Amino acid sequence: MYIGIDMGGTHTRIAGSPSLDKIELVGTKTFLTHKNFEDGIFEILKNVKSISGNPRGIGIGMPGRISEDGREFTHSTNLPSWTNKSIVKILEEKFGCFVCIENDAVS
């Protein structure tokens, strides 16, 4: 299962797809985006696990600047407590899969 996370300034949406060749959303979850990092990362971990305890990959779109190496969320006006947190590292360690993060406006 592959996981997509769309994190906005007000809501976060998470869904899985068994394949990247033909996207079929399963287990869609929507919840308020936590302004506090610890509460928010807990909510994300819980919801990813409920969709797939063993994802093959996770992609995250977030509202703000991402580090050049694509490993950290470096700035957001809406989510200041998320700044300079190693979201990719946390998810990779928890689920043992590839994780990528990008600005949510990139197409």
State pLDDT tens for residues 52-89: 989 999 999 988 888 888 888 888 888 899 988 889 99
DSSP state of 81: G
Q: Please give the pLDDT value at position 104.
A: 78
Residue 107's CB is within 10 A of a number of other CB atoms, namely: 3
How far apart, in whole angstroms, are the C-alpha atoms of residue 18 and residue 57? 11
Percent share of the chain, pLDDT over 70: 99
Confidence of residue 48 (pLDDT cuts 50, 70, 90): very high
Residue 57: closest CA among 22, 103, 96, 105: 96
Q: Please give the pLDDT value at position 107.
A: 57
Residue 30 has pLDDT above 80, yes or no: yes
Label each residue of the chain as H, E or C.
CEEEEEECCCEEEEEEECCCCCCCCEEEEEEECCCCHHHHHHHHHHHHHHHCCCCCEEEEEECCEECCCCCCEEECCCCHHHCCECHHHHHHHHHCCEEEEEECCCC
pTM of the model: 0.91
Q: Please give the pLDDT value at position 32.
A: 95
